[in-house]
Amino acid sequence: MTSLGTFIEIFLQALIAGVLIGAIYGLMCVGLGIIFGVMRVINFAQGEFLMLGMYFTFYLVVGFNMLWFLGPIVGPYTGALLAGPALFAVAYVLHRFLISRVTGISVAGTEGEGHYVQLILTLGVALVLQNGGLILFGSTPQSVRTPLSARAWEIPLLYDANASLFLNKARAVAGVVSVVVAAALYWLINRSRLGKTLRAAADNASAAIYMGIDVDRAYRIAFGIGIGITAIAGGLVATYNPFQPYIGLDFVIIMYAGVVLGGMGSILGAFWGGMTIGLVQQLSTLVLPTQLQNAAIFVVFLLIVMVRPQGLFGRATERV
């Protein structure tokens, strides 16, 4: 095989991997996008909820084996989807008793809009969840294995009989499910009455109150949805990636980079932002050693924040 052929094969492999991972990152970013991009709430613990989604799926499917009746393939993915409502409930309660003290009407309009306090508070929550997770779940890496985890589809490349692309089945299915969930969320936010109510509350809280909308409740629901979506993404990641309680940290920067890249206030933007980050991460392995692929993401994040803080889809009036 010619070196060009090899290069194309490696490139396409990275590209495919990037798209698949990008879809899952996109879903994660959508979750954060609802909270950070739309509600303007800083949630430093978003990565920890991703982690909790992973562990929820793990315990549901593997630990307690409660979905045995769905079989070894459908079971895990259903488990991942169920992580959504479960973490929604957790987030709803967390918001009610903790987060709402530092967000919403009471701080809207104050200096910095309460962001400093949100940062610190959610940092505390993150530390508790991370290390609480360590205590509860132990530090041994876990994973939710399915028959798909170790198999791949082979797509032969036409120009050479020996060249082909490998699509890890688990990743591919996870990617597809991510897109489906993201699409469902998009429909919910843009077409349903609940979605419009949430958008109105996020757009202009005082006007929403004038309309008769209970803004506090809207914020709580939005927060819950944001966390739930990220938890589902976590459950999906769990099907092909081993995880331990500290894994949330790896993803926090990815999520924020994706949301900022995509533009604040845009859910669609958050998805594309996550997709882009996934592509950057995978394509960077073509030129950088693998250990530095995450460093590449940080560099990208820093560049975005400094050069184009409104992101690809955001409005230019966003404050820096």
Partner 1 sequence: MQVRRKLIAPLLVIAIVAIAWISLGMVVTNSYYQLMLTLVPIWAVMGLSWNLLSGYTGLISFGHAAFFGLGAYTVTIALVKFDITPWLGIPLGMIVGAVAGIVIGYPTFRLRGVYFALAMLAYPMALLYVFVWLGYQEVPLPMKREEPALYMQFSDYRVYIALAVGLLVVSLLISLAVERSRFGMSLTAIKQNEPAAEAAGIDTLAWKMRAIMLSGAVAAAAGGLYAVVLLVVTPDSVFGVLTSAQALTIALVGGIGILWGPLIGAAILIPLSETLQAHLGDVIPGIQGVVYGIAIILVVLLAPEGVFWRVRDQFQRRWATRAVQATPLAPHIVTAAPAPATPRKPILALSGISKSFGGLRAVTNVSFEIGDSEIVGIIGPNGAGKTTLFNLLNGFLQADSGKVVFAGRELIGLKPNRICRLGVGRTFQVARAFPRLSVLNNVVVGAYATTTNDADAFGAASAALTQVGLFRRADAIASQLTNKELRLMELARALAGRPRLLLMDEPLAGLASQEIEDMLAVIRSLAARGMTIVIIEHTMRAMVRLAERFVVLDHGAILAIGQPSEITNNGSVIEAYLGKKWAAIRARS
Partner 2 sequence: MLAVESLSVTYGGLTALYEISLVVGSGQFVSIVGPNGAGKTTLFKAISGTLRPSGGSIRFEDRDLFAIAPSQRAHLGIAHVPEGRQVFGSMTVMENLEMGAYPQTGRRDWGRNLDRIFGLFPILAERRGQAAGTLSGGEQQMLAIGRGIASSPRLLMLDEPSMGLAPVVADLIFERIVELHRDGLAILLVEQRVAEAVQSCDFGYVLETGRVVLEGTHQALLADDRIKSFYLGM
- Please report, as ranges, the residues that interact with partner 1 according to CB under 8 A: 42, 98, 101-102, 112, 115-117, 119-121, 123-135, 139, 245, 249, 252-253, 256, 260, 289, 291-292, 294-295, 298-299, 301-302, 305-306, 309, 319-320
Structure-token pair, residue 273: 């932002």
Could you say which of partner 1, partner 2, none residue 130 binds, taking C-beta under 5 to 8 angstroms by partner kind?
A: partner 1
Helices and strands (H, E) in the chain, number of each type = 11, 2
Closer by beta carbon to partner 2, 5 or else 309: 309
Contact partner, 101, from partner 1, partner 2, none, Cβ < 5-8 Å per class: partner 1
Dihedral pair phi/psi, residue 87, rounded to 5°: -70, -25
In the complex with partner 2, which residue's Cβ is closer, 273 or 278?
Answer: 273
Burial of 293: CB neighbours in 10 Å, binned 0-12, 13-18, 19+: middle
H or E element at residue 166: strand 164-168
* Cβ-based nearer residue to partner 2, 18 or 263: 263
**Based on CB atoms, which residue is closest to partner 1, 116 or 159?**
116
Nearest distance from C-beta of residue 291 to partner 1, angstroms: 4
110 binds, among partner 2, partner 1, none (CB under 5 to 8 A by kind): none
First and final C-alpha spacing in the chain = 50
C-alpha 235/C-alpha 146 separation (Å) is 13
Q: Report the nearest approach of partner 2 to the CB of residue 102 (Å).
A: 20
Assigned token pair, 228:
């739930």
Selection from partner 1, partner 2, none that 33 binds (CB < 5 to 8 A by kind) is none
Alpha carbon 27 to chain centroid, angstroms: 5
Binding residues for partner 2, per CB under 8 A?
193, 196-197, 199-200, 203-204, 206-215, 265
Q: Which two tokens stand for residue 50?
A: 């991703």
Which among partner 2, partner 1, none contacts residue 52 (Cβ within 5 to 8 A by kind)?
A: none
Neighbours of 191 (CB within 10 A): 10
